[in-house]
Structure 1
Amino acid sequence: MLDSTLSRRTLLASAAGLAVTPLWAQPGYPAKPIRIVIGYAPGGSVDMVGRVIADIIAKHLDATVVVENQSGAAGVVAAQRVVSSKADGYTLLAGSSNEMAGTKSVNMAQKYDPSKDLTPIGLVALAPNMWVAGAHVPVKNLDEFVALVKKNPGKYSYGSPGIGSTPHFSAELIKKLAGLEITHVPYRGAAPMTTDLGGGNVDFAIISPLAAAPFLQNGRIKALGVTTANRLPSFKDVPALGENPALKGYSLAGWFAFAAPKDLPPEILAKLQTALRAGLSDPAIRQRIEASGAIPAKGDESLQQLIRTDMDKYADLAAFAKIVE
């Protein structure tokens, strides 16, 4: 009788142990490699910042991180992949203002809504751009630029790295505020556009300061203004576009950010945000971001609010420019 009782107790204890063990033994996040998807080819600014994010997460979460470049449709292909993934923290997006705000206004084939279908983890950096003129254009500053184009509506052209890109919207905002007529020439990327600008085949362009630097040094282009609200420390002699009376209030910078599919569990979101903030406070990390031509975020900005605000800005500009793909 005693043996029988002990046997039943042992079986019950074993059963209870089996019921509890799987819950107790579940590993914490992350328990397997994290994939960070980047919607652009290797070597560009989004890729450079995305790899900084990957290094931050690998270090501060002691995780194995795999970076995957999946270019297409100005980042939309990669973003759609992340949006469609399981919200478990193992497929994440290192993206830009293009696919996380701008493209929704111009790409009718885009199935996701960035403001609803992503869990914002954090803003990583601002991506300032520069309004430049080719050396052949007879202007030295913003006043001369506005006067020249107003006097010659439709005569001059500007290049952008693609329809619906942040530089495209940035240039359309110049046209809208100053009441200018300039023909848009879209390119498949910044490299061919910059080459044409330097060669005199297009008159103006919006490009990153990093891409502009060598052309400014050899005199093939001229810097007229930056798209940020304030001047850039590395280009103190170049005014912010908004300093000009015809462009008062101008401010439209691109940005880089980190996001996950919607409904990411709060505990996983908290871990990722803590890791990102820790990384952005590291001077070495901030230096790497600056080397890509971007301005590191402070870590306390609301990415969710930025997405919504910029989506409204881009929608307004898309309507103004009649941009639809």
Structure 2
Amino acid sequence: MQRRRWITTPLALLAAAALAPAAQAQADYPSRPITLVVGYPPGGSVDLVARILGPELSKQLGQPVVIDNAGGAGGTIGAQRVAKAAPDGYTLIVGSNNEMAIGKLVNPALRYDPQRDFTPVGLIAGQTMVLVAAPHTKVKTLDDFVALVKAHPGKYSYGSSGIGTGLHLAGEMVKEAGGLFMVHVPYRGVGPLTNDLIGGQLDFGVFVLSSGLPQIRAGKVNAVAITEARRASAAPEIPAFSEHPAFRKVNIGIWFGLFGPAGLPAPVATKLQQAFQAAMASPELRRKLEEAGARPAPGGGKPDEVLTAYQKVEQEKYARIVDFAKIRSE
């Protein structure tokens, strides 16, 4: 009996010794730079939000926050990388609804699950989308748009930044609500989409508001309506689809959240959430988000729980649109 106790005691001591460094690392977190992954090239809306959040998060955590653009496959390459990263709090992602909600719906073979394989930190902001018309259509109002497309079913096309993106789903929601028949043309980014609109090869396009506003204000395209239920403070002159009797249920936007890999230790997750809340309370950060056309998430509640609930509700909305339009990734 004594011999058994003698063997057990060193084993217990060894186990405790092995756990000690991990516990100390969690207590010291963060002790080195943090990588903030963006699943898109520089210059897009997700990248812009990450670059606004990064400095404030760095200030709160006391360590550099380095942006790492890992673009490709509608944000899913970057998301997959973070899902497989060590759950130590040093690899995070600013994700959007494309890769954190829609991706799995349009591609069941996706190698990660947006709700199972990530630790939610907090909801950063939302942003509306806008449907624009090419000059050759002569469409300047929502009534013009409805009359033209209904008079010529299947003749007109609209472009988005790719199959299964939030922009694509917004276009399909508009089609469903209005009983319209338009051909969807997917593009690899808003650059070629913009060029074809201005050049007259495409009739309509769906943009994130911050991407579409420069072209709208330069008079190169005409704004038809925004896709969220209320007008945007960044462009209050553009009506919302919901103001038209046929489109009252149209309400869809882009959103941005901060996530880590699944299994973040509780002390690390708590520190991240506290730093996130403090960063989001910064008037400077909120001003920059608003100037970029985004709507900062309201405060209140635990940030991880707010993001989880929002993600679930949005995914249910997307599932209905994906089913209606029979969207599947190529």
Asked whether the two chains share a fold, i.e. TM above 0.5, the reply is yes
Q: 1:303 aligns with which of 307, 313, 317?
A: 307
- 1:315 paired with 2:329, answer no
Report the alpha carbon displacement of residue 244 of structure 1 after superposing the two structures with TM. Answer: 0.8
Q: 8 Å contact 2:160–2:187 — kept in the other structure?
A: yes
Give the alignment's TM-score, normalised by structure 1: 0.89
Q: How does 1:146-161 map to 2 (within 5 A)?
A: 146-161=146-161
Paired residue for 1:3? none
Supply the AA of the counterpart residue of 2:317: K
> What is the SS of the residue equivalent to 1:115?
coil
d(CA) in 1 for partners of 2:248 and 2:325? 20
Gaps of 5+ in 2: 1-12
Q: 8 Å contact 1:114–1:307 — kept in the other structure?
A: no
Supply the AA of the counterpart residue of 1:287: R
Report the alpha carbon displacement of residue 239 of structure 1 after superposing the two structures with TM. Answer: 1.1
1:20 to 1:176, Cα distance in 2 relative to 1, 3 A = closer
Gaps of 5+ in 1: 1-14
Paired residue for 2:62? 62
> What is the SS of the residue equivalent to 2:288?
helix
Paired residue for 1:256? 256
> What is the SS of the residue equivalent to 2:194?
helix
Report the alpha carbon displacement of residue 92 of structure 1 after superposing the two structures with TM. Answer: 0.8
d(CA) in 2 for partners of 1:201 and 1:283? 43
Report the alpha carbon displacement of residue 31 of structure 1 after superposing the two structures with TM. Answer: 2.0
Q: 8 Å contact 1:228–1:240 — kept in the other structure?
A: yes
Report the alpha carbon displacement of residue 267 of structure 1 after superposing the two structures with TM. Answer: 2.1
d(CA) in 1 for partners of 2:111 and 2:164? 16
Paired residue for 1:276? 276
- 1:164 paired with 2:164, answer yes
Q: 8 Å contact 1:122–1:299 — kept in the other structure?
A: no
Q: 8 Å contact 2:160–2:186 — kept in the other structure?
A: yes
- 1:222 paired with 2:222, answer yes
1:112 to 1:219, Cα distance in 2 relative to 1, 3 A = same
Q: How does 1:1-325 map to 2 (within 5 A)?
A: 27-300=27-300, 302-325=306-329
RMSD of equivalent CA atoms: 2.1
Supply the AA of the counterpart residue of 2:320: D
Supply the AA of the counterpart residue of 2:186: P
d(CA) in 2 for partners of 1:73 and 1:96? 13
Report the alpha carbon displacement of residue 41 of structure 1 after superposing the two structures with TM. Answer: 0.9
Report the alpha carbon displacement of residue 161 of structure 1 after superposing the two structures with TM. Answer: 0.7
d(CA) in 2 for partners of 1:134 and 1:20? 64
Supply the AA of the counterpart residue of 2:36: I
> What is the SS of the residue equivalent to 2:259?
strand
Q: 8 Å contact 1:129–1:228 — kept in the other structure?
A: yes
Supply the AA of the counterpart residue of 2:183: T
Q: Could you list the per-position Cα deviations for residues 102-133 of structure 1 after superposition, in whole angstroms to 9, with x for gaps in the alignment?
A: 11111243121112221111111102111111
Report the alpha carbon displacement of residue 289 of structure 1 after superposing the two structures with TM. Answer: 1.7
d(CA) in 2 for partners of 1:324 and 1:158? 18
1:150 to 1:59, Cα distance in 2 relative to 1, 3 A = same
> What is the SS of the residue equivalent to 1:54?
helix
Q: Could you list the per-position Cα deviations for residues 174-212 of structure 1 after superposition, in whole angstroms to 9, with x for gaps in the alignment?
A: 011111100001111011101111121111111122222
Report the alpha carbon displacement of residue 56 of structure 1 after superposing the two structures with TM. Answer: 2.0
Q: 8 Å contact 2:131–2:205 — kept in the other structure?
A: yes
d(CA) in 2 for partners of 1:55 and 1:66? 9
> What is the SS of the residue equivalent to 2:223?
strand
Report the alpha carbon displacement of residue 236 of structure 1 after superposing the two structures with TM. Answer: 1.5
The count of corresponding residues between Structure 1 and Structure 2 is 309
d(CA) in 2 for partners of 1:102 and 1:278? 29
d(CA) in 2 for partners of 1:284 and 1:74? 30
Paired residue for 1:12? none
1:266 to 1:22, Cα distance in 2 relative to 1, 3 A = closer
1:235 to 1:144, Cα distance in 2 relative to 1, 3 A = same
1:20 to 1:149, Cα distance in 2 relative to 1, 3 A = closer
Mean alpha-carbon deviation: is it higher for 211-220 or for 246-255? 211-220
d(CA) in 2 for partners of 1:70 and 1:304? 24
Identity of paired residues, percent?
43
Structure showing greater radius of gyration is 1
Supply the AA of the counterpart residue of 2:297: A
Report the alpha carbon displacement of residue 65 of structure 1 after superposing the two structures with TM. Answer: 2.2
